[in-house]
A and B are shown apart, each in its own frame.
Chain A
Amino acid sequence: MADITVLYSIIGAIITLIVCFIIGSFLPGIERKFVHARIQQRIGPPFTVPGIVAPIKFIFKKNLEPNSPAPGIYKSLPIISFLAILFILLFLTPQMYPVYLLSSIIAIVGLLKVEEICYVFMGALSKSVMSLSMKFPDLVKGAVHTDVIRSHIEDISSKRSLRMITYGSFPLYLALFVPVVCSKSLYIFDIVKYQQIHGPLLFTTAGILAAIAFFIGSLVVMNECPFNLIEAESDVIQGPYMEYSAGYRSIIYWTKGLLMFTLAALFTIFFLGFPLNIFSWNIILFIVVALIYTLLVGIFSAFTPIFINRQLYPIIISSTLLGVLAIIVGILV
Chain B
Amino acid sequence: MSLKAYSRARAIHVMLVYTGGCNGCDIEIVNSILSPRFDAEQYKVFLTWNSRETDVLVVTGPVTHLNKDPLIKIYNAIPNPKLVVAAGSCALMGGVYKNIHGDIPSEEIEGPVENIIPVDAKIPGCSVRPQDVLSGVVSLLPKLLDAD
Contact = CB atoms under 8 A, between A and B. Distances in A.
Complex contact flag A–B (Cβ < 8 Å): yes
Interface of A: 32, 37, 40-46, 48-49, 53-54, 56-58, 60-64, 66, 128-130, 133-137, 233, 237-238, 241-246, 249
Nearest to B38: A42
Contacts, number: 90
A141 to B, nearest CB: 16
B97 interface: no
Contacts of B39: 42-44
Contact of A62 (B13, B36, B79): B79
A60 B11 contact: no
A40 B41 CA distance: 12
A173 B52 CA distance: 34
A134 B72 CA distance: 10
Contacts of B66: 136-137
Interface string B62-87: 00001001100110010111000000
A249 B48 CA distance: 13
A239 to B, nearest CB: 10
Binding site secondary structure of chain A: loop
Nearest to B49: A237
Given A44-B41, A61-B81, A129-B77, A243 B52 contact: yes
B10 interface: yes
Interface residues of B, number: 29
B55 to A, nearest CB: 8
Interface string B123-136: 00000000000000
A98 B1 CA distance: 46
Contacts of B80: 61-62
A32 B79 CA distance: 26
A45 B47 CA distance: 12
B98 interface: no
B4 interface: yes
A98 to B, nearest CB: 39
A133 B36 contact: no
Nearest to A67: B77
Nearest to B74: A129
B110 interface: no
A206 B89 CA distance: 64
A41 B42 CA distance: 12
A54 B11 contact: yes
**Closest 3 A-B residue pairs measured CB to CB?**
A42-B36, A43-B42, A135-B69
A331 B51 CA distance: 52
Given A45-B46, A46-B44, A57-B10, 6 more contacts: A54-B11, A54-B13, A56-B7, A58-B53, A60-B8, A238-B49
